[in-house]
């Protein structure tokens, strides 16, 4: 049984019930663990590049920005490379900009005005 899971991005530190020292952990090296996505934390899907690829990104005021074609890993946050009719848009993956990424449908964002070329609204 998993008792805790911490970490960022692709790196997770997992603690298992009954595994409290190196001797108990050694037999687990090279093994796989399965877990329900719902048990991995609400931000887990935002870090899964494979699940994000091809998902549409819709801005609250600008509408569709295109689809996620690449996920760039940054020291503070990830950046989605979104390509569509507006060209390439770099979307910082931060709480106040990503409104809803649940499910498998479009991802809703609220980008600051002026982040896109030609977006002069204020």
Query: Cα 50 vs. chain centroid, distance in angstroms?
Result: 10
118 located within any domain: no
98 located within any domain: yes
Q: Give Cβ neighbours of residue 80 (< 8 Å, ≥ 6 apart).
A: 52, 57, 68, 70, 71, 72, 90, 91, 93
Q: Do 104 and 54 lie in a common domain?
A: yes
Q: Do 57 and 105 lie in a common domain?
A: yes
pLDDT digits (tens, 9 = 90+) for 24-67: 989 988 888 787 766 666 666 666 777 889 999 999 999 999 99
Q: What is the mean pLDDT of the chain?
A: 83
Predicted pLDDT at 56:
97
pLDDT at 7 over 80: no
Would the pTM count as exceeding 0.75?
A: no
Structure tokens at 27: 């037999």
Of 94 and 116, the structure prediction assigns the larger pLDDT to 94
**8-state DSSP, 26:** G
pLDDT at 108 over 90: yes
Predicted pLDDT at 6:
72
Q: Do 21 and 55 lie in a common domain?
A: no
Q: Do 99 and 55 lie in a common domain?
A: yes
Q: Do 58 and 105 lie in a common domain?
A: yes
CA distance 58 to 3: 37
DSSP SS3 for 94: coil
Predicted pLDDT at 120:
59
The percentage of residues in the chain with a pLDDT greater than 90, rounded to a whole number, is 42
Report how many domains make up the chain: 2
pLDDT at 97 over 80: yes
Q: Rounded to 5 degrees, what are φ and ψ at 38?
A: -65, -20
Predicted pLDDT at 3:
79
Domain range spanning residue 64?
49-109
Residue 63's CATH number: 2.30.30.240
Q: How many residues does the chain have?
A: 122
100 located within any domain: yes
């Amino acid at each position: 049984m998993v008792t805790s899971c911490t970490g960022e991005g692709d790196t997770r530190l997992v603690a298992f019930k009954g595994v409290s020292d190196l001797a108990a952990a050694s037999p687990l090296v090279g093994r796989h663990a399965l877990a329900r996505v719902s048990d991995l934390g609400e931000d887990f899907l935002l870090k899964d590049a494979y699940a994000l690829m091809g998902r549409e990104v819709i801005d609250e005021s600008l509408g569709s920005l295109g689809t996620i074609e690449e996920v760039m890993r940054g020291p503070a946050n990830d950046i989605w490379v979104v390509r569509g009719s507006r060209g390439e848009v770099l979307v910082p993956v931060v709480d106040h900009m990503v409104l809803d990424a649940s499910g498998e449908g479009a991802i809703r964002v609220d980008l600051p005005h002026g982040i896109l070329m030609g977006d002069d609204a204020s």
